[in-house]
Structure 1
Amino acid sequence: MSSLTESAPTRVAGPSRTVPGRLRRLLRGPSADPAWARPALLVLLAATAVLYLWDPTGRGWANSYYAGAVQSGTQDAKAFFFGSVDAANFITVDKPPASLWLMAISGRIFGFTSWSMLLPQAIAGVATVALLAATVRRWHGPAAGLVAGAALAVTPVAVLMFRYNNPDALLVLLLVLAAWATTRAVEQGRIGWLLLAGSAIGFGFLTKMLQAFLVLPALAVTYLVAAPVSLRRRLGHLVAGGAVMTVAAGWWVTVVELWPAADRPYVGGSEDDSVLGLTLGYNGLGRILGGDGNGVGGAQGGGGELPAGMQLPAGVELPAGVELPAGGPAGMSGATGIGRMFGDAIGGQVSWLLPAALVALVLGVWLGGRAPRTDRVRASALLWGGWLLVTAAVFSFMEGIFHEYYTVALAPAIAALVGVGGRELWVRRETLSARVGLAAMVAATAAWGYVLLDRTPDWYPALRYVLAGLGVVAVVGLLLPRRRALRLSVVGLVVALATGVLGSAAYAVQTASSTRSGPIPTAGPGGGGGFPGGGAELTEMMARMFPGGRLPAGFPEPPAGGGGMPGGEVRTDDAVAELLHGTTTAWAAAVVSSSNAASLQLAGGRPVMGLGGFTGSDPAPTLAEFQRHVADGDVRYFIAMGGLGGAMPGAPSADASPNAGGPMATSASVSDITDWVSSTFASTTIGGQTVYDLTKEKN
């Protein structure tokens, strides 16, 4: 009895001492790291969380197209699985649903709100920063990891996307996870880590389809070159990783393809109700080559093309001698070509450290030139440099739809190269070549930052001069030999770090502290997300298609008025929302374009059928199918929403005019439906919208 009494305190006290011990290890980090490393990382992650979570409700529904699908996923299991825009499962979004799953799960846990929808995106952002820092740290130490993580955290387009509900946030997290797993596989030649990398890329496909595969060459080449096992085993491991990737990417596609089409929603964005068709068409070769919904022929009066099925608004013509820039849909995000990532549209989003990253890549290849096959510096150059070059090349030359925010996929590679290159040159600073390399990275960053800030001359104009001054101080300090001026060299390093993040961080804070909404968000001063206001914002969009971002003299103003860019924040009148909320049919209403449908159902809380998918150009439903739904009492109202969101009822058929009723092309079946509705049913005006009651035919 005595021994039992004496041993009891030991059992109780043991765990109580273990928890503080684990907490100390968590706060201290690996014993091999400097004492400052883990606390600095925790501070970085805390600051990143504040930046990405700041004022979540101020962003509204962000991209209402995806918000409507998240709402539907919280209401219906089938809508959750397929990624349906509406809970009654008429049509899906034009992407796979992986990112929607996370946001819908959050909505089911916390209730569907803007906050619950955007919370997983911010968490993905913090996790991405942590994972990138950990990946770089493994091979190049904690300082390099911290620099890489901080550079990613304040990249303006990263701040934008990790505060938004587009699929890019989850995609970037999965790509960085694949890179982390690849570095682990390279260290030991272990197949398990490579299988994890393949799984991450596979789920990246379920997030944004073929874009996830752009990093594959870098991952595969890095493992093939640097893994410490025989060539035969390396090849076998890559084949196994590819097989796992195929399964991870293909299981959902297989289920959708095998599911009876009559019992599932139409695959939005496809011409044949097929995920494979969507993958190879609109979201595949169409993005690279144009066409398949990614752009049409030459614009009226010009030698270039308007974006994605658009034509000039009715009554607007290009003046004589004025042509749109070549490059088709590229016009909104800069002309295609090698300079696209540095152009007016893209530069301020992601390119602040791009010149420094390119310098670091060249120096990394040089430093690893005669090293053993498994050299980590060369392996990092292959991994992050391959990621950057392949992705940037595709983005620069793709002729289909391309938006500025896609460039968030470049941010981890740029940040990693800067962290790796800066650290490797700093540890070699005794040599003149290393000091010159560091100075070149800083000088390139300062000079390019000045150019980017000069593009918004009215926004804190002194900032660009501060950046230039810091760059000069840093370059001088870094070029001094360490043995003569150690303190000045360290000062040069500190100032160099400040130079690297100053401009980017300023844009990042501005992005986080201002409202963004709509389908095409951009970061930095003047950034937005859509064109719900019609005239003025449409004028701004058109201006961006010309060199210098200005409309040429004599260009007529587009007509003012309603409508919205697909996916934008369509303002729904309270009376219309109340009307929809009071319905009991499968769909409260039908409207041209799923983007308009999403905005209506967010306001009314009831499913809305989006005819023709995102832009109204999908061949769904047919007139006969829609007539059957009306006859069965499945749809109560038809709401005519003009402008960029879709055609107005009563407009000429698509055969007569492919852009009847507005600048967005609608499919022939959708135009037939709008003609039939306007000629068959009685209408009234509610909240400024023409509403057709599909239970009341005209007298």
Structure 2
Amino acid sequence: MSATTLTTPIRAAFARTTNRPAWVRPALAVLLLGTAALYLVNLSANGYANSFYAGAVQAGTISWKALLFGAVDAGSGITVDKPPASIWLMALSGRVFGFSSWSMLVPQALLGVASVALLYGAVRRVAGYAAGIAAGAILALTPVAVLMFRFNNPDALLVLLMVAGAYAVTRAIERGSMWWLVLAGSALGFGFLTKMLQAFLVLPAFAVVYLVAAPISLRRRIGHLLAAGAALVVSAGWYVALVELWPAGSRPYIGGSTDNSLLQLAIGYNGLSRITGGSGGGPGAGGMPGGGPSSAGSGLPGGAREVFTGAGLPGGGGPGGGGNSMFGGATGPLRMFSDTFGTQISWLLPAALLALVAGVWLTRRAARTDRTRAALVLWGGWLLVTMAVFSFMSGIIHPYYSVALAPAIAAVLAIGVHAGWERRERTGARVVLAALVAVTGIWSYQLLGRAPSWQPWLRYAVLVAAAAGVCWLVIPGRWVRRVALVAVPVLALASIGAPAAYAAQTAATAHTGSIPTAGPSGRGTGGFPGGGRGLGVRNRYGFAGAGPGTGGVPGNGSTRGGNGTGVSGGTGNGAPGGMPGQGSRGAGGNGQPPGGATGTGPSQGAGTQGDSGQGSAGQGDSGQGSGAGQPDTGGQAGTRGPGGAASVAGAVATLLKNAHGYRWAAATNGTQQAAELELASGGAPVLGIGGFSGSDAYPTLAQFEKYVAAGDIRYYLPGGMGGGRGGPGGAGASSSIESWVAAHFTKKTVGGSTVYDLSKPTT
């Protein structure tokens, strides 16, 4: 996709023309500049965001091979469990400006601005300038969109490519243009290289709307669709062919796959297993990351890693969760309205569905090529298909996936309102518009009630504004028009006020970890730890999932005053500095965060963890941290104390940084921990045994022995994620490697942590 194509809607809006109202250019400037400010200001507060992807980005700034394949390590041992298109952009930015949180996240924010611009252009061509501005504003202010365009997950690029595809289809329908349709297919092909089969959820809508509405013969429409399909295959297939034809021994192992194949990854872990809930051979095949069931200690060797599981996961233990179902809550038609997804995406979803039905009804007698109805089919098909898949899929799904719905909701609502407003002289049209305002106000009131301690006045203001807007729309008479200037901001408050407030709070809150959520930091999703921050993990070396400098993860408090309980690690010796060994985390009664977990680590003796809730300061890992918990919150991470995990992290990082001349400075279990070690050590390559969860069949014990014999790996760090309960091939790899290393190499203690020097065999 060329830069010219991406800037077409912007250039058209700012071009001189006598047909465009004078307010359009300043309004569009405010929209785009405001979006840029929302997505860019204080962006580096998110640190390395998801350290798993950040490690791959950093590796891509060091090694071109790692960049090409999306390897987590600069030694090109194993890739992330997604295609590398989004990593390409972030890593190239890091190569130009130097790797940092800012250089990694700025491209993501700019992708958001481009998505808003393209959505404006697509809607404007069908429903006019005002509708285009409205659609862009709705997308920009959707809380989960703010979250993802300030984060380093692949979803930001995926959204841009899908919106670009929809824009190209809109242009193709106008005159029956094959080339615009080919461009749409190419965009979705690169979407496959971003997040695989999720990009294809919009394909049915794209194909149906062109087949029905393009103003050319049926034969030519079919031919154009075949050409677009070929473009899709080529734009995605070139990379698939490159990976499959590249000698497997000289490229990284494809993380998440069962047979080192990108095609199997697409069909399995990133494909059918997401729908059916089957293992698919990917991360988490056994349930939680690590392959073990969702309980403390399962899949965590020796209690080496603290993970918040069980009652604190979305949809499990929190109000309205209704079961974990792989982090997304219970499946069913109301999933997108649940505690897990509701505040992320559904603020305007009821209104969008109503607008879709009303818009299709109003245009039912229009010609086959009617562009308004075609646009409703395009964006409405996108919305319905994606929503249905997300609602009923039984495999792994996270709340932030719902960002893929945001452009469709924005476009359908803007086009539907425009269609109704054009017919506002009719009583039925005014009633529909009033219903849209009413349902939005009522649903916003309900969603805001899920975080009663956050801005409680807002829910009542939204409800009053909605009531006033309904009265203004349904009461006929000339006098109503005289207060139009007052009605516009009232309607804006009723419709977009609540999600805009959540969006602003999302931008003002630092988000890190593997499963971020939008909204106030104390707002949980179905009992999810830490609400707006996301799931983090603390390993035995003191590295949190957020990247260096983060004081662990928030406590496990339940939402809305419920009782939240959690556990820390498994059984074992614990880690230095009072990290939890056999201690268990206290209950958080009445919404209070847990009081900290006691551990018996060998470095500083017994100490209480202050990483969450009201835990007191200790001599070990906790230091000064107490993390005052508020009702309805999980508490915040505490400060690391002297002699605790911070010094452990520094000592291990320094050790790896000085391991020169090796393909990998170290190996450890799991690419999540490997990425964290790389980030802390300034990019020292670390081999993640078993991939994200320890379930990947790489490296085998034989391969590991070969690497060690060749002098490719300097150190081995036991523990980490994994434990071999996951997929085939990886089942015994990490444990057998750990046993083999312990039997043959010298063990030493670095900052209280166990490290094996693979250059010094015991015999």
Normalization by structure 2: what TM-score? 0.80
CA displacement at 1:56 relative to structure 2: 2.0
**SS of residue matched to 1:519:** coil
**SS of residue matched to 1:588:** strand
1:506 to 501, 505, 509: 501
User: 1:398 and 1:329 mapped to 2: Cα distance?
Assistant: 13
Residue in structure 2 matched with residue 110 of structure 1 by the alignment? 97
1:259 aligns with 2:246: yes
| Contact in 1 for aligned 2:284/2:291 (Cα 8 Å) | yes
Residue in structure 1 matched with residue 60 of structure 2 by the alignment? 73
1:637 aligns with 2:624: no
User: 2:254 and 2:352 mapped to 1: Cα distance?
Assistant: 40
| Contact in 2 for aligned 1:430/1:481 (Cα 8 Å) | no
CA displacement at 1:641 relative to structure 2: 3.6
User: 1:283 and 1:169 mapped to 2: Cα distance?
Assistant: 17
Residue in structure 2 matched with residue 588 of structure 1 by the alignment? 665
CA displacement at 1:554 relative to structure 2: 12
**SS of residue matched to 1:682:** strand
Residues paired across the two proteins, number: 649
Q: Residue 343 and residue 560 in structure 1: after superposition, are their counterparts in 2 closer, same or farther (change >3 A)?
A: farther
Q: Residue 307 and residue 431 in structure 1: after superposition, are their counterparts in 2 closer, same or farther (change >3 A)?
A: farther
User: 1:611 and 1:30 mapped to 2: Cα distance?
Assistant: 60
CA displacement at 1:375 relative to structure 2: 1.0
1:540 aligns with 2:556: yes
Residue in structure 1 matched with residue 576 of structure 2 by the alignment? none
User: 1:327 and 1:266 mapped to 2: Cα distance?
Assistant: 37
1:312 to 290, 295, 310: 295
Residue identity in the other structure for 1:272: D
1:628 aligns with 2:706: yes
CA displacement at 1:292 relative to structure 2: 1.9
| Contact in 2 for aligned 1:307/1:328 (Cα 8 Å) | no
**SS of residue matched to 1:609:** strand
Deviates more, 1:688-697 or 1:54-63: 688-697
**SS of residue matched to 2:67:** helix
Deviates more, 1:172-181 or 1:422-431: 422-431
1:59 to 31, 46, 49: 46
Residue in structure 1 matched with residue 512 of structure 2 by the alignment? 517
1:667 aligns with 2:743: no
Residue identity in the other structure for 2:371: R
Residue identity in the other structure for 2:280: D
CA displacement at 1:478 relative to structure 2: 1.1
1:49 to 36, 59, 63: 36
* Identity in percent: 54
Residue in structure 2 matched with residue 281 of structure 1 by the alignment? 268
2:425 to 419, 424, 430: 430
* Structure 1 residues not aligned, in runs of 5+: 1-22, 300-304, 648-653
Q: Deviations over 1:31-89 (max 9, x none)?
A: 31210012101111001000000112211111111111111111111111111111111
2:674 to 583, 587, 597: 597
| Contact in 1 for aligned 2:283/2:694 (Cα 8 Å) | no
User: 1:90 and 1:24 mapped to 2: Cα distance?
Assistant: 44
1:368 aligns with 2:363: yes
1:467 aligns with 2:465: no
Residue in structure 2 matched with residue 94 of structure 1 by the alignment? 81
Superposition pairs of residues 137-286 of structure 1, within 5 angstroms: 137-286=124-273
| Contact in 1 for aligned 2:256/2:282 (Cα 8 Å) | no
Residue in structure 1 matched with residue 631 of structure 2 by the alignment? none
**SS of residue matched to 2:151:** coil
| Contact in 2 for aligned 1:125/1:169 (Cα 8 Å) | yes
Residue in structure 1 matched with residue 301 of structure 2 by the alignment? none
Residue in structure 2 matched with residue 646 of structure 1 by the alignment? 722
Normalization by structure 1: what TM-score? 0.87
CA displacement at 1:688 relative to structure 2: 4.1
| Contact in 1 for aligned 2:556/2:565 (Cα 8 Å) | no
Residue identity in the other structure for 1:573: A
1:528 to 525, 529, 533: 533
Q: Deviations over 1:91-139 (max 9, x none)?
A: 0111111001111111111111111111110110000001101110001
Q: Residue 442 and residue 688 in structure 1: after superposition, are their counterparts in 2 closer, same or farther (change >3 A)?
A: farther
Q: Deviations over 1:255-300 (max 9, x none)?
A: 100111011110000010000110111101111111224688998x
**SS of residue matched to 2:325:** helix
User: 1:317 and 1:519 mapped to 2: Cα distance?
Assistant: 13
CA displacement at 1:523 relative to structure 2: 0.5
User: 2:345 and 2:397 mapped to 1: Cα distance?
Assistant: 15
Residue in structure 2 matched with residue 415 of structure 1 by the alignment? 410
Q: Deviations over 1:290-318 (max 9, x none)?
A: 1224688998xxxxx99975431139999
CA displacement at 1:518 relative to structure 2: 1.1
Q: Residue 450 and residue 306 in structure 1: after superposition, are their counterparts in 2 closer, same or farther (change >3 A)?
A: farther
User: 1:377 and 1:659 mapped to 2: Cα distance?
Assistant: 50
Deviates more, 1:373-382 or 1:680-689: 680-689
| Contact in 2 for aligned 1:287/1:294 (Cα 8 Å) | no
| Contact in 2 for aligned 1:481/1:489 (Cα 8 Å) | no
Deviates more, 1:71-80 or 1:336-345: 71-80
| Contact in 2 for aligned 1:588/1:607 (Cα 8 Å) | yes
User: 2:381 and 2:199 mapped to 1: Cα distance?
Assistant: 14
Q: Deviations over 1:147-168 (max 9, x none)?
A: 1000000100000000011000
Residue identity in the other structure for 2:695: S
1:349 aligns with 2:344: yes
CA displacement at 1:560 relative to structure 2: 6.6
User: 1:552 and 1:625 mapped to 2: Cα distance?
Assistant: 42
Q: Residue 251 and residue 160 in structure 1: after superposition, are their counterparts in 2 closer, same or farther (change >3 A)?
A: same
1:573 aligns with 2:678: no
**SS of residue matched to 2:716:** strand
CA displacement at 1:690 relative to structure 2: 1.8
Q: Deviations over 1:531-564 (max 9, x none)?
A: 22589959739x68xx997548999848677999
Residue identity in the other structure for 2:716: F
User: 2:11 and 2:117 mapped to 1: Cα distance?
Assistant: 19
User: 1:552 and 1:607 mapped to 2: Cα distance?
Assistant: 37
Q: Residue 89 and residue 350 in structure 1: after superposition, are their counterparts in 2 closer, same or farther (change >3 A)?
A: same
Residue in structure 1 matched with residue 24 of structure 2 by the alignment? 37
| Contact in 2 for aligned 1:307/1:401 (Cα 8 Å) | no
Residue identity in the other structure for 1:631: A
| Contact in 2 for aligned 1:639/1:692 (Cα 8 Å) | yes
CA displacement at 1:640 relative to structure 2: 2.3
**SS of residue matched to 2:456:** coil
Q: Residue 69 and residue 314 in structure 1: after superposition, are their counterparts in 2 closer, same or farther (change >3 A)?
A: closer
User: 1:309 and 1:426 mapped to 2: Cα distance?
Assistant: 55
Q: Deviations over 1:578-607 (max 9, x none)?
A: 111101211000010111111111111211
Residue in structure 2 matched with residue 14 of structure 1 by the alignment? none
* Structure 2 residues not aligned, in runs of 5+: 1-9, 299-307, 522-531, 545-551, 569-583, 587-596, 602-608, 612-636
CA displacement at 1:488 relative to structure 2: 3.6
Q: Deviations over 1:203-256 (max 9, x none)?
A: 000000000000001111111111000111111111110111011011100110
Q: Residue 629 and residue 601 in structure 1: after superposition, are their counterparts in 2 closer, same or farther (change >3 A)?
A: same
Q: Deviations over 1:176-209 (max 9, x none)?
A: 0000000000000010000000000000000000
User: 1:554 and 1:402 mapped to 2: Cα distance?
Assistant: 23
2:447 to 446, 452, 461: 452
CA displacement at 1:491 relative to structure 2: 3.7
Q: Residue 440 and residue 168 in structure 1: after superposition, are their counterparts in 2 closer, same or farther (change >3 A)?
A: same
| Contact in 1 for aligned 2:286/2:726 (Cα 8 Å) | no
Q: Residue 295 and residue 576 in structure 1: after superposition, are their counterparts in 2 closer, same or farther (change >3 A)?
A: closer
User: 2:74 and 2:342 mapped to 1: Cα distance?
Assistant: 39
Residue in structure 2 matched with residue 4 of structure 1 by the alignment? none
| Contact in 1 for aligned 2:296/2:567 (Cα 8 Å) | no
Residue in structure 2 matched with residue 377 of structure 1 by the alignment? 372
User: 2:114 and 2:285 mapped to 1: Cα distance?
Assistant: 43
